[in-house]
């Protein structure tokens, strides 16, 4: 059973899968505590905020309410949409054993992507596309794990200032098997975007623009 904050359909806007119609499944809970987190309402699993699956599915605002769902419940919910790509996000979804859910989704014909901070070991079907957005030195004091970087299909790093590049370089990314590395400017800042372009060009990395924020979707 998994605490689910929301399930909705949109276009994946970031990194390698940008442009892909997707059903986002957002799990509740995250101990990383990034100061600039835009999903702070997912940090805690407050039992008083538990709602029914039906109520969770119809909510239209970011709230800290959540519903407990089995993998079968989630499959039923995502099958109600058109998209055949499922993005499991959070919160920090890798806090949970995602093997039952990802195995069910893959077996039902979905492609599956997992977005994680890299601070937990990945428990997911081997076909799961793992996007690690490493959070270094955050108040939650969680370390980015080498084994999770090794499992990553892509690394998507939020960048606001030069120190963020240094944080990325401090990680053992050279050991990752497929180090497709994306630098993503924070908050569409021009300065951060220029920094990302400069660093990506020098290092042959890539720049991830949060296209969902430019086309006005979630």
Contacts with ligand SF4 by CB under 6 A lie at 30, 32-34, 37, 39, 42, 90-92, 117, 135
**Closer Cβ to ligand SF4, 33 or 125, answer by number:** 33
**What is the closest distance, in whole angstroms, from the C-beta atom of residue 36 to ligand SF4 in the complex?**
7
Q: What is the rounded CA–CA span in Å between residue 166 and residue 72?
A: 42
**What is the closest distance, in whole angstroms, from the C-beta atom of residue 72 to ligand SF4 in the complex?**
26
Assign residue 43 a region: left if phi > 0, alpha if psi is -120 to 50, beta otherwise? alpha
- On whether 208 is known to bind a ligand per the annotation, the reply is no
Q: How many CB atoms lie within 10 A of CB 159?
A: 24
**What is the closest distance, in whole angstroms, from the C-beta atom of residue 32 to ligand SF4 in the complex?**
4
Helix and strand numbers (H, E) in the chain are 7, 9
Q: What is the rounded CA–CA span in Å between residue 104 and residue 139?
A: 35
Q: Nearest CA to 131 among 12, 33, 10?
A: 12
- Token pair for residue 133? 């957005």
**Closer Cβ to ligand SF4, 38 or 174, answer by number:** 38
- On whether 89 is known to bind a ligand per the annotation, the reply is yes
**Closer Cβ to ligand SF4, 91 or 185, answer by number:** 91
- On whether 59 is known to bind a ligand per the annotation, the reply is no
- On whether 3 is known to bind a ligand per the annotation, the reply is no
- On whether 120 is known to bind a ligand per the annotation, the reply is no
**Closer Cβ to ligand SF4, 70 or 210, answer by number:** 210
- Token pair for residue 101? 């859910």
**What is the closest distance, in whole angstroms, from the C-beta atom of residue 117 to ligand SF4 in the complex?**
4
**What is the closest distance, in whole angstroms, from the C-beta atom of residue 64 to ligand SF4 in the complex?**
12
Letter string b/e over residues 108-138, b meaning 16 or more CB atoms within 10 A of that residue's CB: eebbbbbbbbbbbebebbeebbbbbbbbbeb
Gap between the terminal Cα atoms of the chain: 26
**Closer Cβ to ligand SF4, 30 or 83, answer by number:** 30
Binding residues: 11-13, 26, 30, 34, 36-39, 89, 91, 133-135
Binding residues for Mg(2+): 39
Binding residues for substrate: 11-13, 26, 89
């Amino acid at each position: 059973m998994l605490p689910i904050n929301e399930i909705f359909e949109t276009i994946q806007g970031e990194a390698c899968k940008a442009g892909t119609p997707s059903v986002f499944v957002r799990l509740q809970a995250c101990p990383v505590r990034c100061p600039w987190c835009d999903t702070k309402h997912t940090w805690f699993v407050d039992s008083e905020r538990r709602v029914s699956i039906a109520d969770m599915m119809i909510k239209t605002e970011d709230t800290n309410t959540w519903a407990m769902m089995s993998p079968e419940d989630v499959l039923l919910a995502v099958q109600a949409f058109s998209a055949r790509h499922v993005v499991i996000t959070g919160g920090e979804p890798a806090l949970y054993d995602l093997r039952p859910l990802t195995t069910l989704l893959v077996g039902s014909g979905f492609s599956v992507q997992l977005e994680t901070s890299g601070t937990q070991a990945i428990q997911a079907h081997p076909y799961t596309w793992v996007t690690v957005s490493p959070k270094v030195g955050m108040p939650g004091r969680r370390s980015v794990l080498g084994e999770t970087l090794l499992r990553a299909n892509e690394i998507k790093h939020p960048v606001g200032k030069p120190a963020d590049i240094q944080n990325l370089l401090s990680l053992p990314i050279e050991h990752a098997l497929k180090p497709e590395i994306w630098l993503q400017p924070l908050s569409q800042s021009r300065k951060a975007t220029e920094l990302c372009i400069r660093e990506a060009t020098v290092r042959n990395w890539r720049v991830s623009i949060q296209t969902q924020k430019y086309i006005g979707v979630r």
